[in-house]
Amino acid sequence: MLCIIVVTLLLEATPLLVNAEMVTTCESNVIHRLSCDTGVISVQAAVFGRADSATCSEGTSPQTDCSVVGTIEVIKKRCDGKKVCELNTNIFSLPDSCSSPLKYLQTKYNCIPAIHQVTCEHSLSHLQCDEGQVIFVYAADYGRRDRTTCSYTRPESQIQNTDCSSPTNKVAESCNGKNSCVIKAKNSEFGDPCYGTYKYLEVAYACQYPEVTQEDTVECICPVFTGSSKAMLCFRLSTALLLAAAALLTSSVVHTERVISCDDSHNVQRLSCETGVISVEGALYGRKDRETCSEGRPKEQLVNTECSQPGTLDLLKRRCNGKRLCEYNTNVVRTADPCPGIFKYLETNYTCLPAIHLVVCEHSLADLYCDDGQVIFIYGADYGRSDRTTCSYKRPASQIENLYCSDPTRRVSDSCNGRNRCTVRASNAVFGDPCVGTYKYLEVAYVCEYPGLVPEVSTF
């Protein structure tokens, strides 16, 4: 009993964590959608078929007990570690014994805090924990599940297959227990689950102190329950939540992310923040060592290890600071060739800073304000359009289809920094027109500071 009390106390101390959701789909061919606003999916239970006579019965009393064995494994494999997971019942085949047409799919899941990372095909991503902590990978999937992720200037044909999922153990095998780990999002690592589609690797992991994590310790901590599988299960679940708490604590301290894209074709580099906004900390276009992006390259393309293009950091800060999501490719930074004949890469370090994030549609007013005594400090502002959904309600398709209209601007910082309140009109009259004919929006990220306390982050 002691064990359960301890666990309860810990869970009470971290009330954010328990967040059970259940979704039930009564018909086949409709979408069964699991999603987490914060954290990632952890499937706890799933039934396909029928386990009771009430659910989805519409007044009849159908045959019970014809569930498909292994449903939970299938759904876990597909959905654990993701923020969104959509499927339909066609992925299961029902046994003949289950003739009742009134079957259903029911999934129970939690949203557990984790570091969630997406790396576009041909980029390298760094999984990294604080000193003394190690990586624990919840899940990894290489493929494509939507049209928007890693889509910047990719041809339509390469992003239209959104049914390409291939959960993989490889990331866990090579990263678990390490303090940091580099993963190449490439066919050479994972195979090619959908030829011709531009893919991405989605990884969810936690950082934890090594001694807390091993399943062996579960038994030592909780000897009373040895032999009782139900109690063990309960405790393992709690352990997962505790790990998650560790991850939450780690990620609320500023966590630096690093992504590297090799300079071939149109590889997309993606920066994203689940909470807060992007702050680019370091960027290199060039080459600093012989190993990075060396695969299949002749030696003479790797010899110059002191090659970097000036201005890359400023360019990416301007483009990405203050946004939640920023996609681009090396064409965007390649303003000149800093070392002809050398094969280059783009390495970017960024963090996610807490900030007030505001989006206002063209012709509306942005009202920025702080508490009494505090003043505004702008991280970034951009007037344009980079997705199809923001500010799109009833606008004709022609006005929302240009997604490459980005125009980072200093105007908002010029007029708002240091003030307690500030109003800015999202209009061509203020910002000029970066893309004629497109309906635009203004995206601003700012913090409120006591005057004199200048944030350590430099802005553009």
What token pair was written down for 352?
A: 């996610």
**Residue 282 in the binding site for ligand NAG (CB under 6 A):** yes
Residue 282 or 354: the one with the smaller Cβ distance to ligand NAG is 282
Closer residue to ligand NAG in complex, CB, 161/349: 349
What's the rounded Cα separation, in Å, for the pair 207 and 359? Answer: 33
Handedness of CA 325, 200, 123, 298 (dihedral sign): negative
Residues 6+ apart with CB under 8 A from 97: 66
Question: Which residue lies nearer to ligand NAG by CB, 151 or 349?
Answer: 349
What is the amino acid identity at position 113?
Answer: P
Minimum Å gap between C-beta 175 and ligand NAG is 17
- The one-letter amino acid code at 163 reads D
Contacting residue, 277, 283, 320, 391, with ligand NAG by CB under 6 A: 283
> Does 349 help bind ligand NAG (rule: CB under 6 A)?
yes
> Nearer to ligand NAG by C-beta: 240 or 259?
259
Residue 347 sits in the site that holds ligand NAG (CB under 6 A):
yes
Determine the number of helices (DSSP H) and then strands (DSSP E) in the chain: 12, 21
Alpha-carbon distance 13 to 241, whole Å?
A: 12
Q: Quote the least distance from Cβ 348 to ligand NAG, whole Å.
A: 7
Q: Which positions from 5 through 24 interact with ligand NAG, judged by CB under 6 A?
A: none
284 lies in the site for ligand NAG, by CB under 6 A: yes
Stretch near ligand NAG under the rule CB under 6 A, chosen from 5-13, 208-216, 278-286, 375-383: 278-286
Q: How far is the CB of 344 from ligand NAG (least distance, A)?
A: 13
CB distance 175 to 127 below 8 Å: yes
- Under the binding rule (CB under 6 A), the answer on residue 258 touching ligand NAG is yes
* N-to-C CA span, the chain: 57
Tell me how far, at minimum, the Cβ of 260 lies from ligand NAG, in Å.
Answer: 9
Q: Is 255 in the site for ligand NAG (CB under 6 A)?
A: no
Structural element, H or E, at residue 49? strand 40-49
- Which region, judged by CB under 6 A, interacts with ligand NAG, from 134-142, 230-238, 277-285, 326-334? 277-285
Helix (H) or strand (E) holding 399: helix 397-400
Radius of gyration for the chain, computed over Cα atoms and rounded to the nearest angstrom:
25
Place of tokens 């494994």: 73
User: Which residue of the chain is nearest ligand NAG when measured via CB?
Assistant: 282
Could you list the residues that contact ligand NAG (CB under 6 A)? 258, 282-284, 347, 349
